[in-house]
Structure 1
């Protein structure tokens, strides 16, 4: 057995892991990064990047169909699935090459293989085969995996998001089980590409974690697009043949389609890697950490999707950077979960930061004020042909505590919302600042003006 030593050993090369490795190397630490697959993890290869490439292709398909409405002569002749796949894979390949080059330039040692955490009298380490990679500190950043439901086996015409990415066709019809972010994004893309889509969601709204106004706006938009939503409907069973799938709901009704996409969330990837045996405390499969991301074992840290909370790549980036800086003694500030922006890249997009109106009223009662601005009054939104809303939640005579947006491209606006919420800005503080005209950001400005008591383009 060969032993190696680094200041930091990172188990997992996804968003949290590689961010920690890069930042630690920038701070002069020697770093070993253990990854069983490819640097970049799920986000780069099977999640964020490839799905957004498909959604962009779907957006182009919609634009071509609607081109005549703006005076452009164009003919939509269908989806070239091989072409979309080549586009998607080309984007992923470029980003992977860039990340690989960045890791190499920082002098980070990359070990390919399945790592196991071990803790002994000499401290924490990660073993890969017969080799031991010991670190003064070890970061666990092993990410997440696709969840399913009892009675559902992925295979054939029953897909997870990974199999959906690999489809060599646009389904004529598809059932999406789960109305969260993943389900909504695939439903949106497939509908733009010509599929008949039905979403089955056990709760009362699509995107149930979002403000109900955002969910309602998305549901209206999806109905106009011909996407069927079966809300408050629980799954009972599924069967498949060579030709299609049939699912039975708890009320006894049946739905049939070419494919079923199972999009019921993601679970932490912590099993079978020695965490339990090393004494790392787990709860429901997630790694228990303190407010500084320390686990129950000294010098063992955790970041990203295995830490309870939002499962978002940018949260993983932030946590990985935080751990590297904490180890270096820089005393970094942990970003509160409520200030992390959330975006669903459907058509229309849904973006938010902070808390919902319902959560605000539950916590503060009548000391809550809300402004809602319809994008129909925004010139730029009218030009690009999107409807939607801007909703801002504040405390009466107090700061902004929640911002909720629906509309095409609103994900690009949420960073301003993050600043407002994180800095506890009052609408009166923001109202004097001018938004460029014509931009969609003016809609945010209008909502801030309304909450400051001086609306301009709203009654």
Structure 2
């Protein structure tokens, strides 16, 4: 995979070849810089090999399974028999392999030098890889994240697993516990439920997907109950024991759960330990690299991007930050995008898509009297009815001002996030969006109708 390093000195030297690192490398090369890209594993990082792409492939298999189960409703004679996990994995792995080939070919075509091995920051302009020192006029740290656990909770890889293990399972459990009701936990719970697994989610916070708007949370929990995905919220996890039959998990209130396995989905931690960051003088906080708003660490010409920078741990955030730093180094003064204005999608069924402030955060920022909201029930949307889905779109507006939050839940709502993030980032008023023409019949027109209602001229309300 790797090119031999003809030179050991570069304009930009990047440590980590995941979404943030390779995006920085590609944009840097386009801008005419010589680029060295250090990666100990495979280019593409977690997103391509252990995150975004494989999980969404599983979710698509789950959607196909649900379609088979409900085919008769749509006049199609079909039946659901079972899940063939080796075949599911072959499909998933084929997608990954194709994307990996494309990425490696693109990196090579741009003249980027790929350096294989585990790098360590050994100076303000130096990264050492397996005993060889490479220098960069600018250093970009993009070392990514790993699946976290809880103190005292050992990941055995057998009956106590992380999402990494879950992506390579050849057989399905009959019953599974999911520790964590955030994005990862809800996505795997959704997949396994569609595959016929009895799933229970355990979440310490008062609700599932706790960072989403309360109206969206309510809809998701209602949908999960309808799908018979059980969940226990608001009580902390105490411990788990493995036995010959599986696992027995205990909560702090004494409640116990038994299952074949426990998936630990309590978030991801930054990969920064023993990489020389502290020795180089970087400011660290709980393993994260602290930067200013322009992603500079305050030390030399060292920048940090992606999951190692505090904030949202999203591939597209890292991708944008990688591009940002390349353009920053080139003196182009790119625009800073705040985390709150970065779109988020949880690909469970129903899908959640959001960008901007929740109603609670908006009221906290602007005051109760300065916030107006509008909810549009997707039951009134023709395409949603055709798809057999349900859900809602909620808009949050600063009174007499722009839309500051868009929150959606329903089938395939992630496909609507493009317009939503433009609305929020361009500070559009409801009247601006209401005047646009949204194609019929699409789910996208529901976003337009929500804006029309918020602008005081509801069409179907």
TM bin, normalised by shorter chain, reads: over 0.9
**Counterparts of 1:342 and 1:404 in 2: how far apart (Å)?**
10
Q: Give 1:433's match in structure 2, choosing from 430, 436, 447.
A: 436
Match of 1:54 in 2: 58
Match of 1:17 in 2: 21
TM-score w.r.t. the length of structure 2 is: 0.97
Match of 1:138 in 2: 139
**Shift of residue 446, structure 1, vs aligned partner:** 1.0
4+ residue segments displaced more than 4 Å: none
Q: Is the 8 A contact 1:151 1:238 kept in 2?
A: no
**Counterparts of 1:257 and 1:387 in 2: how far apart (Å)?**
31
Q: Does 1:209 align with 2:211?
A: yes
**Counterparts of 2:284 and 2:444 in 1: how far apart (Å)?**
43
Match of 1:326 in 2: 328
**Counterparts of 1:281 and 1:416 in 2: how far apart (Å)?**
37
Output aligned runs, 1:21-36, within 5 Å.
Answer: 21-36=25-40
Q: Does 1:411 align with 2:414?
A: yes
Q: Give 1:373's match in structure 2, choosing from 367, 372, 376.
A: 376
Q: Any idea what the Cα deviations from partners look like across 1:423-450, whole Å, max 9, x if unmatched?
A: 1110011111111000001111111001
Match of 1:382 in 2: 385
Q: Any idea what the Cα deviations from partners look like across 1:268-311, whole Å, max 9, x if unmatched?
A: 11111110111111111110101111002110000000011100
Q: Give 1:69's match in structure 2, choosing from 53, 73, 94.
A: 73
Cα root mean square deviation, aligned: 0.9
Q: Does 1:112 align with 2:147?
A: no
**Shift of residue 243, structure 1, vs aligned partner:** 2.2
Q: Give 2:457's match in structure 1, choosing from 438, 441, 454.
A: 454
Q: Does 1:154 align with 2:158?
A: no
Secondary structure of 1:90's partner?
helix
Secondary structure of 1:429's partner?
helix
Q: Which runs of 5+ in 2 are unaligned?
A: 1-5
**Shift of residue 151, structure 1, vs aligned partner:** 2.2
Output aligned runs, 1:25-424, within 5 Å.
Answer: 25-119=29-123, 123-155=124-156, 156-365=158-367, 366-424=369-427
**Shift of residue 168, structure 1, vs aligned partner:** 1.1
Q: Any idea what the Cα deviations from partners look like across 1:369-406, whole Å, max 9, x if unmatched?
A: 00001111111001101111100000111000000000
**Counterparts of 1:455 and 1:358 in 2: how far apart (Å)?**
24
Secondary structure of 2:171's partner?
coil
Q: Is the 8 A contact 1:21 1:108 kept in 2?
A: yes
Q: Which runs of 5+ in 1 are unaligned?
A: none
**Counterparts of 1:361 and 1:350 in 2: how far apart (Å)?**
22
How many residue pairs get aligned? The number is 454
**Counterparts of 2:130 and 2:117 in 1: how far apart (Å)?**
8
